[in-house]
Chains A and B, each alone.
Chain A
Amino acid sequence: MPEALSLLCRVSAHPESRCWALAWSPSGTLLASCGGDRTVRIWGRDGPGWSCRAVLADGHQRTVRRVAWSPCGHYLASASFDGTTCVWKRQENDFEVVATLEGHENEVKSVAWAPSGSLLATCSRDKSVWVWEVDDEEQEFECVSVLSAHTQDVKHVVWHPSQELLASASYDDTVRLYREDDDDWVCCATLEGHTSTVWAVAWERSGQRLVSCSDDRTLRVWERSESGSGTEHSWKCVCTLSGYHGRSIYDVAWCHLTGAVATACGDDAVRVFEEVAAVAPGDAVTFSLAAHVPRAHAQDANGVAWHPREPGLLASCGDDGDIAFWHYQRPEGL
């Protein structure tokens, strides 16, 4: 099975530190990484390898936990333990801070852009999720809602691939969904089932399902249920993948090109799962392990990201400070 995932290249991205997360630009020409060394680094293809195009070092005073590109690719947002989120404007390989979003009481854990590019979401250890409106012309950001549905540290936020529907994952073991309702933002669903911290969530391309990963060492796939009444969403867990991960699962990525699901785990491994096609309508949703690299990183794996244009190109990062680039080949017979 290991041959399903082959190493293309490995770079020491945040030496003497840890690399927390990765994000591909929408066109896939650039990869952003961030880490405990307080920097964001921008990577571009260089022949068979990858080289650093820019180091964004003057934005944050503490660890940068996550990064996110705007859908147009002109902006990059970075969420930091210093309590702020920086928005960087890109001009070729030059990045300049155009806004610093302040307001969270302590560490900002994640940031995400809505598919329209007109909204930004951030979340924090202060238990809240903030929705910001983007004024593109003025490069201004205004907080339009503070959502306090979670009872603990919020770890991750991610927008639906085409709608203004937001998902958040928390230390309170739940995933919550939010939508706009009469000029205000409301929590419209709570997904309960994980028995420990939910570290990350990822949407399927259609937006009908999402997958969550947890400290409880399981993945759960959630589906929008037909039985939901009115405008309220009803979501149910349709599949739990347990027994595959040795420690906490820190990140999950659902490829919008191939449908493959990749995970980054505290047991140093990177794994890929594939959905098993149902034989008859109404059959249970099942996924099987398609690839497993036990020592993908020398320490915990923290992040995984599928390339948005090239099917099978996967990047991962870890506490060893490295970024690894992988080619995934779907095994035959799956």
Chain B
Amino acid sequence: MVGPGAAPLENANPLIYRRSGERPVTAREEDDELPDAIDDREIFDLIRSINDPEHPLTLEELNVVEQVRVKVNDAESTVSVEFTPTIPHCSMATLIGLSIKVKLLRSLPDRFKLDVHITPGTHASEHAVNKQLADKERVAAALENSHLLEVVNQCLTARS
């Protein structure tokens, strides 16, 4: 896995998408008496500002993550996220998926089961990447690797 700065760029001129606006807060959410279920938009807000490992852009700006590809079921404690690599041979796909997974692991209560997949049909090694991301033993081992953890943390650090 390569970190940022390892030239040449794989996808030199990516399409850039417009960011979504701030999420409107509903009257129900402002009522502290009512329980708030976690919804798709909240999960999307957690991951949309993750940095791309290659470009000074967010995953939302590159259309790697979209709100319609986030599915939450709060009652069943499941979260599923599909992400779309910018090109079908993107070697950063595993790193991007890992960053999404780590962000959600750190942000959500432990009860949630997280599934992070590549959008079907958008990557040449879709099955292999999905299998790695679903293997919690390999994810645990990867996160004990200080170099890899540093790269993931860079993707997760909000730019000023």
Most interface-central of B111, B113, B137, B138 (chain A CB within 10 A)? B137
Asked if B34 CB lies within 8 Å of chain A CBs, one says no
Q: Judging by beta carbons under 8 Å apart, are B135 and A63 in contact?
A: no
B109 shortest CB reach to chain A, Å: 10
Contacts of A81 in B (CB 8 A): 140-141, 144
Contact of A215 among B111, B113, B134, B140 (CB under 8 A): B134
A206-218 vs B: 1/0 string, CB under 8 Å? 0000000001000
Residues from chain A with a CB closer than 8 A to the CB of B134 are 215, 248
> Out of B110, B131, B141, which one reaches A63, CB within 8 Å?
B141
Contact A153-B113, Cβ < 8 Å, known A62-B144, A63-B144, A196-B131 = no
Please tell me which one of the listed residues A62, A109, A267, A300 contacts residue B136 in the complex, with CB atoms under 8 A apart: A300
Contact with A along B122-147 (1 / 0, CB 8 A): 00000000010011111011001000
A300 to B134 CA separation, bound complex (whole angstroms) = 13
Q: A62 contacts which chain B residues (CB < 8 A)?
A: 141, 144
The reply on A316 being an interface residue by CB < 8 A is no
- Give the complex CA separation of A320 and B140 in angstroms: 15
Is residue A155 contacting chain B, with contact meaning CB distance below 8 A? Answer: yes
In the complex, which residues of chain A have a beta carbon less than 8 angstroms from the beta carbon of B138?
125, 153
Choose from B110, B113, B131, B140 the contact partner of A266 (Cβ within 8 Å).
B113
CB distance from A228 to the nearest CB of B (A): 32
A271 within 8 A of B: no
Find out whether the CB atom of B110 lies under 8 angstroms from the CB atom of A36: no
In chain B, residues 3-44, which have Cβ atoms closer than 8 Å to a Cβ of chain A? none
> Counting CB contacts under 8 A, is A85 at the interface?
no
The residues of B that contact A155 with a CB separation of less than 8 Å are 137
Take A197-B131, A298-B111, A320-B110 as given contacts and tell me if A109 and B140 are in contact as well, using a CB distance cutoff of 8 Å: no
A204 within 8 A of B: no
CA distance A70 to B127 in the complex (A): 39
Interface residues of A in 167-218 (CB under 8 A from B): 171, 196-197, 215
A109 to B136 alpha-carbon distance, docked (Å): 13
Shortest CB-to-CB span from A40 to chain B, Å, is 17
The secondary-structure label for the interface of chain B is: helix
A63 and B111 contact, CB distance less than 8 A: no
Interface residue A286 (Cβ < 8 Å from any Cβ of B): no
| A residues 48-72 in Cβ contact with B at 8 Å | 62-63, 65
Evaluate contact between B113 and A247: CB separation under 8 angstroms.
yes
User: CB distance A171 to B135 under 8 Å?
Assistant: yes
**CB atoms of B136 and A125 under 8 A apart:** no
Complex CA gap A196/B132 in Å reads 11
- In the assembled complex, the Cα of A320 lies from the Cα of B111 at a distance in Å of 10
With a CB–CB cut-off of 8 A, which chain A residues contact B136? 266, 300
How far apart are the CA atoms of A2 and B113 in the complex, in Å?
A: 23
In chain A, positions 249-292 with a C-beta closer than 8 Å to chain B are 266-267
In whole angstroms, what is the CA distance A62 to B137 when docked?
Answer: 13
Does A118 belong to the interface (CB within 8 Å)?
Answer: no
How far does the Cβ of A23 sit from chain B's closest Cβ, in whole Å?
18
| Residue-wise interface mask of A (226-263) relative to B, using a CB-CB cutoff of 8 A (1 in contact, 0 not) | 00000000000000000000011000000000000000
Chain A residues closer than 8 Å to B137, beta-carbon distance: 65, 109, 155
Q: Mark A69-93, 1 if CB is under 8 A from B, else 0.
A: 0000000000001000000000000
- CB of B76 to closest CB in A, whole Å: 10
Taking beta carbons and an 8 Å cutoff, which residues of A are in contact with B?
A: 18, 36, 62-63, 65, 81, 106-107, 109, 125, 153, 155, 171, 196-197, 215, 247-248, 266-267, 298-300, 319-320
Would you give 9 A-B contacts (Cβ < 8 Å), ordered by A? Answer: A63-B141, A63-B144, A81-B141, A155-B137, A215-B134, A247-B113, A248-B134, A267-B113, A299-B110
Known contacts A65-B137, A81-B140, A153-B138; 13 additional CB pairs below 8 A are A63-B140, A63-B144, A81-B144, A109-B137, A125-B141, A155-B137, A171-B131, A171-B135, A196-B131, A197-B131, A197-B135, A267-B113, A299-B111
